[in-house]
Amino acid sequence: MPAFDPQAAPSLMPEREFHFTQADFERIRKLIHQQAGISLAPIKQDMVYSRLARRLRALGLATFAEYLSLLETGDPQEWETFVNSLTTNLTSFFREAHHFDILRKHLQAAHHRPLRIWCSAASTGEEPYSLAITACETFDTLSPSVEILASDIDTNVLATAQRGVYPMERVERLSAERLQRFFLKGSGAQVGYARMRPELQRLITFTRINLLDPRWPVRESLDVIFCRNVMIYFDKPTQYQILKRFMPLLRPEGLLFAGHSESFLHAADLFHSLGRTVYERADKVRQTAKAAK
């Protein structure tokens, strides 16, 4: 039997509003991997169609082939929209709560200031604001000596994060004490919404960073990197290259936090697991072992 040729296949997908072939899907998989490092599984065809069909309607196009040809002309705005459309942003305040307990102890143990944290998949902001709340609680002040860089590839979610305004159902699991201390309601926000206090917003700098970009606007000597639930979208070689760039940005005693379904065993030469998806630099472990001999 001859090998399957997606370029020769007419359309293996159900009849839809827009012409969408297997070849179109393979082309999209290649483009999003080149642009953002995301490895789309074959089962993501329906998701890709539904998300990009909105762009075809908005642009008045009839087929995905037309859209992809337009995209490949190099319009930076459309590339940004393309990436925004295909990124997934699931988050919540204090997701994987044990990480924030570990973070609190790590901040307490540090003897230098300011402490510097990079939240590299900030999404709509719940994670960087959770980091800011943890810092405020750790040092019992709304102005701790902590700098948080919050980045994402998706400019739409970053805009939401920067506004710092959330429907009440997004914050309802937080304690009454945290709601009162760190959020504004009533005159400080729309009815049915809670707004982050400006003191917390001042702790965070929001910026767009594509982890595949050759240069990141990130200084060295970070105390913590949160990179949670984003590596699952990258293949192992891409993960390794990103981790290789993370390592020198961290202080020797710095910590890397990953998502609950992520494992970096393939990068054991770079990072050593401390358990529960928390990692330290592998060279620190080697230096400690050498000093103990």
Q: Are 64 and 24 in contact (CB under 8 A)?
A: yes
Q: Cα(282)–Cα(254) distance, rounded to whole angstroms?
A: 11
Hey, which residues does 257 pair with through a beta bridge? 226, 278
Active-site residue, from 24, 152, 154, 223 = 152
How far, in Å, are 6, 239, 278 from residue 287 at the CA level? 51, 24, 19
Would you call 139 helix, strand, or coil by DSSP? helix
Contact partners, residue 106, CB within 8 Å, separation at least 6: 223, 224, 255
CB burial of 85-95 (b: ≥16 within 10 Å; e: otherwise) equals: bbbebebebbb
Q: Is the link from the previous residue into 114 a cis peptide, with omega within 30 of 0?
A: yes
Residue 51 annotated in active site: yes
CB atoms within 10 A of CB 121: 25
Which of 195, 188, 252, 181 has the alpha carbon at shortest distance from 223?
Answer: 252
Q: Are 56 and 18 in contact (CB under 8 A)?
A: yes
Q: Could you list the active site residues?
A: 51, 152
